[in-house]
Structure 1
Amino acid sequence: MNLLQKFEYWGDRHHPKWLDVIRIALGIFLCYKGIDYLRNTSELIGLMTNRSPFGSFLIILLAHYVTFAHILGGFLLIIGFLTRLACLIQIPILLGAIILVNITQDVTRPYSDLFLSIIILLLLIYFLIVGNGPWGIKLPDEKKRQITE
């Protein structure tokens, strides 16, 4: 059993059902943010242009990646299918949001997004380790493995 399988096994055994409610809420929030970015793509591109060293084509490409990843990853988190993959595609986005966007703003202002971004990042890392939980959709080989154990 390699290290990844040990993490999966530990995550499957130590996952209370109330954490699935948090996973579903996180997925709903990420879907909402993705739809919000889809509605306000020009504002997202403007924010990324002001704070990143990339060219305009790469910024447009990143803005579309962020939008698509939030919507798809949020949906996958809601239904609990491919949870680790959904978290893995979200983590670079949150790291970029913390490093490029939120750190350059005034952190002490009343409605700073830095703390929200850090909380979301920590939740994504947690669900990357523990997986989808008992209320998630399981792959066929996961169902067989749980029956035999």
Structure 2
Amino acid sequence: MSTPGGSSPWGDADAFKVSLEDQVAQAQARAVRARDMQHEIQALRARARSRNGEVEAETDASGALTDLRLNDRAIDMHPQALAQLILETTMQARKSAGEKAVAVATEAFGENSSATSMLRHEVEQREAARHDGLTY
């Protein structure tokens, strides 16, 4: 099909091909960044330590506890106080892991990208649930 004057309705075929190749290259680059971001977030860990060092907790980006260490002073604590300190320290690690995950997404896709916004929203929801007395 051609327009009056014999030109293609898509304009210059060579320019169209270059434009299409550029779009494909950009899509491939975004896919690589997404894969790299996913791997980096999956490997991400954050640690927190209680003020006096009785408890050290590590979580992954989803907030799951991946390591918990108690020093000798923890053994001398009242069980309820120790339980509370474990929860508080774990929450600190979760918050740090969420912030790190958002930073990874921001670096990969930018502050205002949909991927960064979705991850930030998820982290904020987790923090809000924490403040409501809920955990997940």
TM bucket (normalised to shorter chain) is 0.3 to 0.5
Larger Rg computed on CA atoms = 2
TM-score normalised per structure 1: 0.31
TM-score normalised per structure 2: 0.33
Q: Is the strand fraction higher in 1 or 2?
A: 2
More contact order relative to length (CA 8 Å, sep ≥ 6)? 1
